[in-house]
């Protein structure tokens, strides 16, 4: 949604300026800072719809900032980091990020990811919705209302990020059907998965931590080893 606020937190001025140039050209309002602490203050004072966040920063690192944001908000977070190992991606996504982009990066690709994340986030904003508010998926221990982005598990409302919500809704929309990790990635992120990675696995783990009574003994999201994931009635 053009005109939305984006917060860029990176202590590399050249990278922050490059990101700003491309996002401003698309009509976004960009707020920049080289401090995670200042970034948290900006989030409280400005209407921000997405955060682009570096990991290695002084005072407070990006992973800590990501976790602090997740304590209060489901706003989309894209980590932009030179750390390219699979473990780094797992840690970043596990901290609550929705996407992980490696430096050096293609600014056009980053802009496309920003658009995708903000579109997903604003579509699930109850204040922007029109139409039927009663469309729900109701299962034994799980209720999902797509129109107002509401999830109730075991009688308790849980807060999911837009990506987490999309994954859960996909699985719940076809009870008993097994979705491979490739299919989940392609249907939720809207792009092809060209190489094996742990993105889907990390998000499934985060969802389980929020909706399951015992995440290690999942009753809602079942793992079909060697195939993928499913939800049963």
| Interval 6-52: pLDDT, tens | 999 999 999 999 999 999 999 999 999 999 999 999 999 999 999 99
* 203, two tokens: 């998000």
Structural contact between residues 9 and 59, judged by C-beta atoms closer than 8 angstroms: no
pLDDT (tens digit per residue) in 109-122: 999 999 989 988 87
Residues 10 and 79 in one domain: yes
Structural domain count, the chain:
2
CATH of the domain at 66: 3.40.50.2300
Residues 118 and 12 in one domain: yes
Residues 109 and 189 in one domain: no
Handedness of CA 209, 212, 214, 218 (dihedral sign): negative
Residues 74 and 113 in one domain: yes
In this prediction, residue 86 carries a pLDDT of 86
Among 123, 139, 172, identify where a domain stops: 123
Residues 15 and 56 in one domain: yes
In this prediction, residue 122 carries a pLDDT of 78
Structural contact between residues 82 and 54, judged by C-beta atoms closer than 8 angstroms: no
Q: Please tell me the distance from the alpha carbon of residue 139 to that of residue 190, in angstroms, as a whole number.
A: 26
CATH of the domain at 139: 1.10.10.10
Q: pLDDT 10s per residue in the chain (233 long)?
A: 457 899 999 999 999 999 999 999 999 999 999 999 999 999 999 999 999 999 999 889 999 999 999 988 889 999 999 998 888 999 999 999 999 999 999 999 999 999 989 988 877 654 443 333 347 899 989 999 988 889 999 999 999 999 999 999 999 999 999 999 999 998 898 877 666 568 899 999 999 999 999 988 899 999 999 899 999 87
In this prediction, residue 130 carries a pLDDT of 39
Among 123, 141, 163, identify where a domain stops: 123
Q: Please tell me the distance from the alpha carbon of residue 11 to that of residue 96, in angstroms, as a whole number.
A: 21
Residues 29 and 117 in one domain: yes
Residues 95 and 174 in one domain: no
Residues 107 and 178 in one domain: no
Structural contact between residues 134 and 123, judged by C-beta atoms closer than 8 angstroms: no
In this prediction, residue 112 carries a pLDDT of 92
Q: Residue 214: give the domain boundaries.
A: 129-231
Q: Return the bridge partners of 152, or none.
A: 143, 157
In three state form, how does the secondary structure of the chain look?
CCCCEEEEECCCHHHHHHHHHHHHHCCCEEEEECCHHHHHHHHHHCCEEEEEECCCCCCCCHHHHHHHHHCCCCCCEEEEECCCCHHHHHHHHHCCCCEEEECCCCHHHHHHHHHHHHHHHHHCCHHHCCCCCCCEEECCCEEEECCCCEEEECCEEECCCHHHHHHHHHHHHCCCCCECHHHHHHHHCCCCCCCCCCHHHHHHHHHHHHHCCCHHHCCCEEEECCCEEEECC
Q: Please tell me the distance from the alpha carbon of residue 99 to that of residue 76, in angstroms, as a whole number.
A: 8
Residues 102 and 144 in one domain: no
Structural contact between residues 51 and 43, judged by C-beta atoms closer than 8 angstroms: yes
Residues 142 and 225 in one domain: yes
Among 94, 123, 152, identify where a domain stops: 123
In this prediction, residue 220 carries a pLDDT of 94
In this prediction, residue 194 carries a pLDDT of 61
Residues 62 and 87 in one domain: yes
Q: Please tell me the distance from the alpha carbon of residue 184 to that of residue 169, in angstroms, as a whole number.
A: 11
Residues 223 and 181 in one domain: yes
């Amino acid at each position: 949604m053009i005109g939305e606020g984006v917060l860029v937190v990176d202590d590399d001025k050249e990278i922050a300026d490059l990101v700003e140039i491309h996002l401003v050209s698309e009509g976004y309002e960009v707020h920049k800072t080289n401090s995670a602490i200042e970034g948290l203050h900006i989030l409280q004072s400005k209407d921000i719809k997405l955060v682009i966040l570096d990991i290695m920063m002084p005072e407070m690192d990006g992973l800590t900032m990501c976790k602090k944001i997740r304590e209060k908000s489901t706003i989309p977070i894209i980590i932009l980091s030179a750390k390219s190992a699979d473990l780094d991606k797992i840690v970043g996504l596990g901290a609550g990020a929705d996407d992980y982009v490696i430096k050096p990066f293609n600014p056009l690709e980053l802009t496309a990811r920003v658009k995708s994340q903000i579109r997903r986030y604003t579509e699930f904003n109850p204040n922007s919705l029109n139409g039927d508010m009663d469309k729900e998926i109701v299962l034994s221990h799980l209720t999902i209302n797509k129109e107002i982005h509401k999830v109730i598990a075991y009688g308790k409302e849980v807060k999911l990020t837009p990506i987490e919500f999309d994954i859960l809704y996909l699985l719940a929309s076809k009870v008993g059907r097994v979705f491979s990790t490739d299919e989940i990635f392609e249907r939720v992120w809207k792009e092809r998965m060209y190489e094996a990675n742990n993105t889907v696995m990390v998000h499934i783990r985060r969802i389980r931590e929020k909706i399951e009574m015992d995440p290690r003994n999942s009753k809602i999201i079942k793992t079909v080893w060697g195939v993928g994931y499913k939800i049963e009635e």
